[in-house]
A and B are shown apart, each in its own frame.
Chain A
Amino acid sequence: MSRKPAQSLTLFLLLAPAVLWLGVLIVLPHVEILVLSFSERVAPRVYAFGFGNYLEFFTEPLYWRTFARTAIMSILVTAITLVLAFPIALYIARVAQGRMKAMLLLLCLLPFWVSELVRTLGWMMLLRETGVISYMLQAIGVTDQRTEFLYNDGAVILGLVYGGLLFMIVPLANALESLDPSVVEAGFDLGGSRWTVLRRIVIPHAMPGIVAGSIIVFMLTVGNFATPVLLGGKNGLWFTEQIYAQFITRFNWPQGAAFGMLLLLLSSAIVWAGLRLTGQSLGTTLKQA
Chain B
Amino acid sequence: MLTKRTGLKLATAFAALMITGTAHAAEKLRLLTWADYAPKEVVDQFTKETGIEVEITLSNNEEMISKLRATQGAGFDLVQPSQDRIAGPQTEFGIYKPLDLSKLKSDLFIASMLEATKKNTTIDGKVYGVPHIWGTDGLIVNTKLAPKVADYNDLCDPALAGKTSFRSKRPALIAFAFANGMDPFASYGDAKAYAAMMDKVGAKLAECKKTVKFFWDGKDQLLNALRSGEVVAAMAWDTGGWKLNTESADIKFIAPKSGALGWVDTFAIPAKGRNDDAAYKWINFNMRPEIAAKVAAAAGNFTASNGADKLMQGKLKDQFAESFPKAAIDNIKWYPAVPAGIEEIEGKVLDRLKAGS
Set of chain A residues within 8 Å of B66, measured between Cβ atoms: 247-248, 251
**Interface range on chain A (Cβ under 8 Å from partner):** 20 to 34
**Interface range on chain B (Cβ under 8 Å from partner):** 20 to 34
| Alpha-carbon distance A251/B357, docked complex (angstroms) | 26
B325 touches A (CB below 8 Å): no
Set of chain B residues within 8 Å of A249, measured between Cβ atoms: 62, 169, 347
Set of chain A residues within 8 Å of B213, measured between Cβ atoms: 148, 151, 234
Set of chain B residues within 8 Å of A252, measured between Cβ atoms: 344, 347
B352 contacts A62, CB within 8 Å?
yes
A45 contacts B215, CB within 8 Å?
no
A129-B230, A251-B92 are contacts. A234–B62 as well, Cβ < 8 Å?
no
Q: Smallest Cβ distance from A65 to chain B, in angstroms? A: 7
A128 touches B (CB below 8 Å): yes
Set of chain B residues within 8 Å of A251, measured between Cβ atoms: 62, 65-66, 69, 89, 92-93, 343
A62 contacts B228, CB within 8 Å?
no
B160 touches A (CB below 8 Å): no
* Chain B stretch 207-239: residues in CB contact (< 8 A) with chain A: 209, 212-215, 217, 228-230
A151-B213, A251-B65, A251-B69 are contacts. A66–B94 as well, Cβ < 8 Å?
no
Tell me the nearest residue of chain B to A130, going by C-beta.
B228
Report which residue of B162, B348, B354 has the largest number of chain A beta carbons within 10 angstroms of its beta carbon: B354
Q: Choose one: B65, B340, B354; the contact of A234 (CB below 8 Å).
A: B354
A234 contacts B212, CB within 8 Å?
yes
Q: Smallest Cβ distance from B223 to chain A, in angstroms? A: 14
Q: Which applies to chain B's interface (DSSP): helix, strand, loop or mixed?
A: helix
B91 touches A (CB below 8 Å): yes
Q: Smallest Cβ distance from A256 to chain B, in angstroms? A: 10
Q: Smallest Cβ distance from B337 to chain A, in angstroms? A: 14
B181 touches A (CB below 8 Å): no
B214 contacts A233, CB within 8 Å?
yes
Q: Choose one: B65, B344, B355; the contact of A237 (CB below 8 Å).
A: B355
Contact with A along B78-110 (1 / 0, CB 8 A): 000000000001011110000000000000000
Q: Smallest Cβ distance from B187 to chain A, in angstroms? A: 20
| Alpha-carbon distance A148/B231, docked complex (angstroms) | 12
| Alpha-carbon distance A247/B63, docked complex (angstroms) | 10
Report which residue of B91, B162, B351 has the largest number of chain A beta carbons within 10 angstroms of its beta carbon: B351
* Chain A stretch 18-71: residues in CB contact (< 8 A) with chain B: 44-45, 60, 62-63, 65-66
| Alpha-carbon distance A249/B85, docked complex (angstroms) | 12
B356 touches A (CB below 8 Å): yes
A194 touches B (CB below 8 Å): no
Q: Choose one: B162, B168, B209, B357; the contact of A148 (CB below 8 Å).
A: B162
In the complex, how many residue pairs between chain A and chain B have their CB atoms under 8 Å apart?
A: 70
Report which residue of B169, B212, B357 has the largest number of chain A beta carbons within 10 angstroms of its beta carbon: B357
Q: Smallest Cβ distance from A23 to chain B, in angstroms? A: 21
Set of chain A residues within 8 Å of B94, measured between Cβ atoms: 45
| Alpha-carbon distance A234/B216, docked complex (angstroms) | 9
Set of chain A residues within 8 Å of B93, measured between Cβ atoms: 45, 251
* Chain A stretch 107-149: residues in CB contact (< 8 A) with chain B: 128-130, 148
B357 contacts A235, CB within 8 Å?
yes
Contact with A along B115-140 (1 / 0, CB 8 A): 00000000000000000000000000
A100 touches B (CB below 8 Å): no
| Alpha-carbon distance A246/B344, docked complex (angstroms) | 9
A250 touches B (CB below 8 Å): yes
Q: Smallest Cβ distance from A39 to chain B, in angstroms? A: 14
A234-B215, A248-B62, A248-B63 are contacts. A242–B351 as well, Cβ < 8 Å?
yes
| Alpha-carbon distance A234/B356, docked complex (angstroms) | 9
A245 touches B (CB below 8 Å): yes
| Alpha-carbon distance A65/B355, docked complex (angstroms) | 9
Q: Smallest Cβ distance from B155 to chain A, in angstroms? A: 13
Contact with B along A221-265 (1 / 0, CB 8 A): 000000001000111010001100111111111000000000000
* Chain B stretch 165-191: residues in CB contact (< 8 A) with chain A: 168-169
Set of chain A residues within 8 Å of B92, measured between Cβ atoms: 44-45, 251
A44-B91, A248-B66, A251-B93 are contacts. A130–B230 as well, Cβ < 8 Å?
yes
| Alpha-carbon distance A111/B42, docked complex (angstroms) | 41
| Alpha-carbon distance A113/B343, docked complex (angstroms) | 41
Set of chain A residues within 8 Å of B214, measured between Cβ atoms: 151, 233-234
Would you list 11 pairs from A and B whose C-beta atoms are within 8 A, ordered by A residue?
A44-B340, A235-B354, A235-B356, A241-B354, A245-B347, A248-B62, A249-B62, A249-B169, A250-B344, A252-B344, A252-B347
Q: Which 9 A-B pairs have the closest CB atoms?
A: A235-B357, A250-B347, A237-B355, A130-B228, A249-B62, A237-B354, A129-B230, A44-B92, A44-B91
Given A241-B354, A251-B69, A251-B89: 10 more A-B contacts, CB < 8 Å: A60-B348, A62-B355, A129-B230, A235-B357, A245-B347, A248-B63, A248-B66, A250-B343, A251-B65, A251-B92
